Structure 1
Amino acid sequence: MLQYKSQKKTKKTKAPAKGAEKAAKALLSQKEVAARWAEEVKRTKWVYDEWFKHPPHTETIARGAAKDLATPKLKPSELDTLPYEEKFANNGALMKLHDLEHVDNFIEKRKRWLDRTVHTSRLRPQSAATDGAQAQAGPSSSATQESTSSAPQDDGQPPN
């Protein structure tokens, strides 16, 4: 005769329910996540430089193809945070070329930012945020003064 083991029927405690409730509280609302991502996109917008060129041997991708790399698709405002080079296509239209590696890194960054369980302060430390803003704005006035003061002064005399 075969015997089957049976489990005791015990009452479940409320502890798992409390844990699930706590985990649900840790999730940020979808609206808050979208707002913080939109703020980050505005904050890190790339200032267009008409003389910008990608380094030699850089694998580039057109803007239309870059939009289709991620799901959901990248928005033009999101791609404007990355540096791009403008060239004329064969049909005469102006195309924007992005570095493929930068686009891949950006997709990973967006994925981390849209993760509803991670708080924004963990994604962008305060010191890095101020450094990035200064890098976007350009060198400080003291750095500009140093570069101009170190240049040789032209007093109208020909060099010896």
Structure 2
Amino acid sequence: MDGTSRILMVVSMGLLLLVGVFLISRLLAHIAAVGEPVASAVTVEAAAAADARIKPVGAVRSEDVTKPRPILSGKQIVGAVCAQCHGSGVLGAPKIGSHELWAARVAQGYAVLLKHAEEGFKNMPARGGDPRLSNDDLKRAIAYMVDESGFKSPKGWSTIGMPAAAKSAAGMPAS
């Protein structure tokens, strides 16, 4: 054997010995770790923080639409349902208090206004988006909006379907 072959053989044996020692040490470490709980890479705090970051921005709230709604005045209905659009005039809704914007609608007649409120019209959903509103509720809301815009609503519309106690609570004369 010449000198180069001898050096190559010694280096190869040394590497083989190192690989063997490494593998045996890994095997012993694995055997020692069996039965010990494995540390989780995700702590409870980190998981809670991640859940907080990915939770929905809003929540869905649903109500029982079959539950009867308390009898409200036209002003209360408009404040709860209609004012989102009619209060500012968005999406082409005639703004409450604007005689000019309501004039063309009132000229069509109150039956047409009621039909549009019942069925929806252009961007306005049926019943203003609240399926619990009765036709009497719609009449009271229409009466309030047109009265506030300088028109005279049909007789009885502002109090239709309201018991005397509800009329007096709303500041209306009992008829």
TM-score class normalised by the smaller sequence = under 0.3
Structure of greater Rg:
2
TM-score norm. by structure 1 comes to 0.24
More strand by share: 1
